[in-house]
Amino acid sequence: MSPVNIEKYVGRKAEIIYQDSKGNFTKRRVSVYSVRDGQVRVLDWGKKSFRTLKEERILSALPFVGRTG
């Protein structure tokens, strides 16, 4: 389980800190679309594509207000 309640960001923009499978940390601006079975479906504004992230690897999330892209 993630230390962050990412479900509260469904339908909203958030800035997250994410640790990938290699242990690298990234800060991402995303729109959260769904959370299901430990998988988080987001639109990653930096990569300009949809991503499926593992909920357990999201270390931090804050509301994002501002321009994306």
- 29 within domain boundaries: yes
- Write down the pTM of the prediction: 0.87
Number of domains in the chain: 1
- 39 within domain boundaries: yes
Domain range for residue 14? 6-63
Q: Which of 14, 22, 46 is nearest to 4 (CA)?
A: 14
Residue 3 binned pLDDT confidence (cut-offs 50, 70, 90): confident
- 1 within domain boundaries: no
- 68 within domain boundaries: no
Collapse the DSSP code of 6 into the 3-class scheme (helix H, G, I; strand E, B; otherwise coil) and give the result.
Answer: helix
Task: Report pLDDT digits (tens) over 4-42.
Answer: 899 999 999 999 999 999 999 999 999 999 999 999 999
- 69 within domain boundaries: no
Domain at 33, CATH number: 2.30.30.360
Radius of gyration of the chain (CA): 11
53, exposed or middle or buried, with CB in 10 Å at 0-12, 13-18, 19+? buried
Collapse the DSSP code of 58 into the 3-class scheme (helix H, G, I; strand E, B; otherwise coil) and give the result.
Answer: strand
